[in-house]
């Protein structure tokens, strides 16, 4: 650790596998310092946008919209949906790129917050304002987001984890039940 108390590129990084899953997924090196996390792109040593940051999401959203739902690079071939929520407190439109599972007309999204102990902010937005739009390509789809509970959630969760096993890993990391929403078009 540097004299300033901030992490530097010369500080040893934690062993691979001890980092949160999203860091392994995003292939970043991380240094922990008094509860703070610094992420540096592998190979450059420059500070990279945090994979959960607004800047990172903005880049994904822009690429998604510019290419009618297609993404390149590390996201090529991934199933991502842009969910447009209304802020529970602000009333402003918030767009979030999320992994999803589609079954028929329904889209399932998961409030894992990458294994965080708390629900993501968008969870509260969907509870407060379930009438939303989402994007899979060119045209936004209008519909409703419903929080799944009981047997319906259990069935959906089984299918989600079978298709996207990293969500099961996130559930193993937290005490809360990770919420699942079904997006149903009007």
Residues 125 and 168 in one domain: yes
Residues 45-69 pLDDT 10s: 444 444 445 788 899 999 999 998 8
Residues 139-157 pLDDT 10s: 899 999 999 999 999 999 9
The pLDDT assigned to 47 comes to 44
| Residues contacting residue 110 through CB under 8 Å, at least 6 positions apart | 98, 99, 160, 164, 167, 178, 179, 180, 181
Do residues 84 and 135 lie in contact, with contact meaning Cβ atoms separated by under 8 Å? Answer: yes
Residues 96 and 132 in one domain: yes
The pLDDT assigned to 53 comes to 57
Residues 82 and 172 in one domain: yes
Two structure tokens written together for 43: 């190979």
Residues 101 and 23 in one domain: no
- d(CA 12, CA 31) in angstroms, rounded, equals 7
Q: Which residues of 1-20 are buried (b: 16+ CB within 10 A; e: fewer)?
A: eeeeeebeeeeebeeeeebb
**What are the beta bridge partners of residue 183?**
107, 145
Residues 47 and 70 in one domain: no
- d(CA 79, CA 146) in angstroms, rounded, equals 20
The count of structural domains within the chain is 2
- Name the phi and psi angles at 44, rounded to 5: -105, -30
Residues 17 and 76 in one domain: no
By CB atoms closer than 10 A (0-12, 13-18, 19+), residue 97 is buried
Residues 43 and 113 in one domain: no
Residues 83 and 34 in one domain: no
Residues 114 and 39 in one domain: no
Residues 13-56 pLDDT 10s: 434 343 333 333 333 333 333 333 333 333 344 444 444 457 88
Residues 82 and 41 in one domain: no
- d(CA 76, CA 133) in angstroms, rounded, equals 23
- Point out the least confidently predicted range of 45-49, 76-80, 134-138, 170-174: 45-49
- Name the phi and psi angles at 74, rounded to 5: -65, -15
Which domain range does residue 166 map to?
A: 66-185
Residues 100 and 140 in one domain: yes
Domain assignment present for residue 108? The answer is: yes
What's the rounded mean pLDDT across residues 110-126? 95
When pLDDT is cut at 50, 70 and 90, the band that residue 166 belongs to is very high
Residue 142's CATH number? 2.30.110.10
């Amino acid at each position: 650790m540097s004299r300033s108390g901030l992490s530097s590129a010369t500080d040893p990084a934690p062993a691979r596998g001890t980092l949160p899953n999203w860091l392994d997924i995003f292939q970043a090196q991380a240094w922990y310092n008094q509860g703070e996390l610094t992420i540096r792109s592998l190979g450059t040593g420059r500070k990279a946008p945090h994979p959960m940051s607004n800047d990172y999401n903005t880049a994904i959203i822009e690429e998604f919209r510019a290419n009618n739902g297609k993404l390149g690079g590390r996201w090529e071939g991934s199933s991502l949906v842009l969910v447009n929520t209304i802020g529970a407190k602000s009333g402003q439109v918030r767009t979030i790129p999320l992994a999803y599972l589609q079954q028929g007309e329904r889209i399932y999204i998961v409030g894992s917050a990458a294994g965080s102990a708390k629900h993501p902010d968008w969870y509260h937005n969907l509870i407060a304002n379930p009438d939303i739009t989402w994007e899979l390509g060119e045209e936004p789809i209008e519909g409703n987001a419903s929080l799944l509970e009981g047997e319906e959630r259990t069935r959906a969760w089984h299918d989600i984890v079978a298709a996207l096993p990293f969500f099961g890993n996130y559930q193993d990391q937290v005490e809360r039940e990770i919420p699942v929403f079904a997006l149903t078009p009007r």
